[in-house]
Amino acid sequence: MSTRLRNDRLLRALARQPVDMTPVWLMRQAGRYLPEYREARARAGSFLTLCTTPELACEVTLQPVRRFPLDAAILFSDILTIPDAMGLGLEFDDQGPHFSRPLRSAAEIDRLGVPDPEEALRYVPDTVRLVRRELDGMVPLIGFSGSPWTLATYMVEGGSSHDYRLIKGLCFTEPAAARRLLDVLARAITVYLNAQIAAGAQAIMLFDTWGGVLTEHGYREYSLDPMRQVVAGLTRQADGRDVPVIVFTKGGSAWLEAQADLGVDALQLDWTVSLASARARVGDRVALQGNLDPALLVAPVARMEAEVRTLLADYGPWPGHVFNLGHGVTPDVDPGHVGRLVDAVHRLSLAYHR
């Protein structure tokens, strides 16, 4: 675990330290747009098998960093591993993830316990250990989890939702039960992420996918406060280094100032806010990560490069920017375009780091 990092651009940028060029990695950089991923998925036979077999998950984690000069690897897993370990029966079909035993009562919530990550979720820290060994210091490894609110949403709705009627109904009609659910999830996520850090994850990201569907008051109570509980309990040093934490609330640009007070190192931005505006609002409290619209990965290269120039100019010549998408790479993207994007970010950012 003590192998010297040959490329620590990401960790330096997250610490708002000078770098030679803007680091870049992409959400869903390991995914269906890569032919090698599709081959690994076919060998696995199912998405769940791919996630829960450390050798296969390690292979998929490494695929994009072997193909492109990215500045980080992100663990290949799923945000719903914790609810699955809690016994809700995770399944995947053409419509996405769903649970065969979703939460439908306060009594079911009260029966939930915190899974031991080295038992029910052992495949995740085992994958982290394998990836760190195979990376051999090439780039840092990012571990992650869904946020308490996001996991609660899936667990109560039973899968994806268009109106979030069930989870919001729980908050409005049984707020004490909703808070108990978020508390047990915050404790489970903290233990889970600390297990990833102990296994070798060098940065951590919390994906608050559904925080943006809440009102401002609801966001603070049901999304922000549980994330604060997680962040407060995380191990922040390992391998003699700080372990930076990134938070991403999709659709949450209205609350950036509150997110910056969570005690995290960086905020991931979607494409609905400019980097210049976000930096003016949060100052130097946190680094910023983002925020190219993923649709530009299917645009002509010149158009994509023009937007890269705009985003780099928006952030300007200050430390603390990690280039990323505003959400994940989509399956229809040409891998060659991803390579061109990474090259453009590195090449065009040099002028901002002299």
> Annotated active-site positions, please?
28, 32, 41, 78, 154
- Give the DSSP per-residue string, 183-246: HHHHHHHHHHHHHHHHHT--EEEEEETTGGGS-HHHIIIIIIHHHHHHHHTS--EETTEE--EE
User: Cα–Cα distance between 219 and 168 in angstroms, integer?
Assistant: 11
Q: What is the dihedral of CA 217, 222, 227, 233, to 10 degrees?
A: 120
| Residue-wise burial string across 3-33, b where 16 or more C-beta atoms lie within 10 A, e elsewhere | eebebbbbbbbbbbeebebbbbbbbbbbbeb
User: Cα–Cα distance between 191 and 196 in angstroms, integer?
Assistant: 9
CA atoms within 13 A on the CB side of 265: 24
| Residue-wise burial string across 314-338, b where 16 or more C-beta atoms lie within 10 A, e elsewhere | bbeeebbbbbbbbbebeeebebebb
CA dihedral over 154, 157, 160, 162, signed as positive or negative: negative
User: Cα–Cα distance between 267 and 272 in angstroms, integer?
Assistant: 14
CA dihedral over 271, 276, 281, 286, signed as positive or negative: positive
Determine the Cα angle at 200 with ends 48 and 326, to 5°.
Answer: 65
Single out the residue of 213, 275, 208, 204 nearest to residue 248, CA to CA: 208
| Residue found under tokens 């609810």 | 83
In three-state secondary structure terms, 284 is: coil
220 near 149, Cβ under 8 Å?
no
The radius of gyration computed from the CA coordinates of the chain, to the nearest angstrom, equals 19
